[in-house]
Structure 1
Amino acid sequence: MCTGACSKFIAIPLYILALVSIICNIILFFPDFKTEYASEDKEGDARITQEVKYMGGVVGGGIMVLIPAIHIHLTSAKNCCSNRCGMFLSIGFAAVGVVGAIYSLSAAALGLANGPVCYWSNPDNPIPQWGTPFANSSGDYLNDKDVWGWCILPEKVVEFNVGLFSTLLVAASLQAILCTFQMVNGLFGCICGTCTGNE
């Protein structure tokens, strides 16, 4: 396959994945699809999961992948990039995308491991309070749905966080793979030359 056409094949999914990452991160600021938790959130009295504030989906999986996706797409104009310089630059841009994807993946993994901030209580802690009840579970709570009921507010916040952070995790993993593949593709295009419209 032409290295330019391959770049286009890589860029289009990166656009979609970047958009998904941004949307998921923004939605995570509104548990139970309500704005009150975001407006009540303040330092020392959290209402929003800490890992959401790292903006992994917006900055890492979003902006840091979207910019390389645009450049990678430009190298595929008319399915061919007529100069080696464009492919060489795409290696650097793709590397930025890999870093962004790793940042997004790390934030999502931490969010899954620590669990959500919620108003919770359990038999050992009968007085409800705001906090992160699963922070010391090393993610074990994910396999025990019985404890998800500890979170009283926001409603179904565990399912909400698990679904969106898992989506971010998958999106970031795919972004890292695609950007790494583009680094290899760019190297081939730079060393061996890119195809021409007649090839």
Structure 2
Amino acid sequence: MCTGSCAKCIGITLITLTILCILANILLFFPGGTVVKDNNYITDEVWFFGGILGSGALMIFPALVFLGLKNNDCCGCCGNESCGKRFAMFTSIIFAAVGAVGAGYSFVVSAAAINRGPKCLTNGTNYDYPFHNGNYLSNHTIWKQCMEPENVIPWNLTLFSMLLIMSGVQAALCVFQVINGLLGTLCGDCTCCGNNGAV
């Protein structure tokens, strides 16, 4: 098993998911696809920056580290050619843990936002949270309680669901990289210093 190549594939996937999560979080600042007059009209969980910080900034560093593992110079460590590669794979475990924490944060924020529902204009006067404990998810008839922004419920539900799924995938990939990193630490990579696995 080529642990470096596997880490590179994980890194590429994480970079793609990171960009999508950041974009999803940015779109949430425009509830219903419109610009609101007051920032207080934006759902509170959007300001927790789950997609920008958790699945975004905290995921960029692990992804870049994983991308570089395949080409990491592994020679010349205490006379052992594979020592440097093994150490690089070991450090990737730490970065994978950081990524998992970031993805977990985004996952929790998204789940809380979906359960709480969006902030919207109710009774024609107040911006509030009309839904409780996810009751709006199975009962679409109560969606009419949100008068504006228009289409804020499907907008928030779609974007937070995307963040929930993508952060879950990110967390799973980081956990997989922990296992991959352990294998790389213990066994080394199948291609090290141009030996291509030759004994």
The two structures share one fold, judged by TM-score above 0.5: yes
Question: For residues 43-62 of structure 1, what are the structure 2 equivalents within 5 Å?
Answer: 46-62=40-56
RMSD across aligned positions (CA): 1.6
Question: For residues 153-192 of structure 1, what are the structure 2 equivalents within 5 Å?
Answer: 153-192=148-187
Aligned-pair CA distance for 1:4: 0.6
User: Contact (CA 8 Å) 2:27, 2:33: kept in 1 or not?
Assistant: yes
Question: For residues 1-199 of structure 1, what are the structure 2 equivalents within 5 Å?
Answer: 1-37=1-37, 40-41=38-39, 46-77=40-71, 83-121=85-123, 128-134=125-131, 137-196=132-191, 197=194, 198-199=196-197
Hey, what's the Cα distance between the residues in 2 that align with 1:150 and 1:18?
34
Q: After superposition, what is the alpha-carbon deviation per residue over 1:45-97, rounded to whole angstroms, capped at 9, x for unaligned?
A: x200000000000000001111100001100228x996111101100000000
User: Contact (CA 8 Å) 2:54, 2:101: kept in 1 or not?
Assistant: yes
Aligned-pair CA distance for 1:148: 1.0
Aligned-pair CA distance for 1:120: 1.6
Hey, what's the Cα distance between the residues in 2 that align with 1:129 and 1:34?
18
User: Contact (CA 8 Å) 2:32, 2:156: kept in 1 or not?
Assistant: no
User: Contact (CA 8 Å) 2:32, 2:153: kept in 1 or not?
Assistant: no
Hey, what's the Cα distance between the residues in 1 that align with 2:184 and 2:32?
48
Q: Structure 2: which 5+ runs fail to align?
A: 75-81
The code of the aligned residue for 1:177 comes to: A
Moved more, 18-27 or 80-89: 80-89
Hey, what's the Cα distance between the residues in 2 that align with 1:99 and 1:193?
26
User: 2:171 is paired with a residue of what secondary structure?
Assistant: helix
The code of the aligned residue for 1:8 comes to: K
User: 1:152 is paired with a residue of what secondary structure?
Assistant: coil
Aligned-pair CA distance for 1:34: 2.2
Which structure: greater strand fraction? Answer: 1
The code of the aligned residue for 2:98 comes to: V
User: 1:153 is paired with a residue of what secondary structure?
Assistant: coil
User: 1:29 is paired with a residue of what secondary structure?
Assistant: coil
Q: How many residues align?
A: 185
| TM-score, L = length of structure 2 | 0.88
| TM-score, L = length of structure 1 | 0.88
Hey, what's the Cα distance between the residues in 1 that align with 2:52 and 2:159?
13
Aligned-pair CA distance for 1:33: 2.2
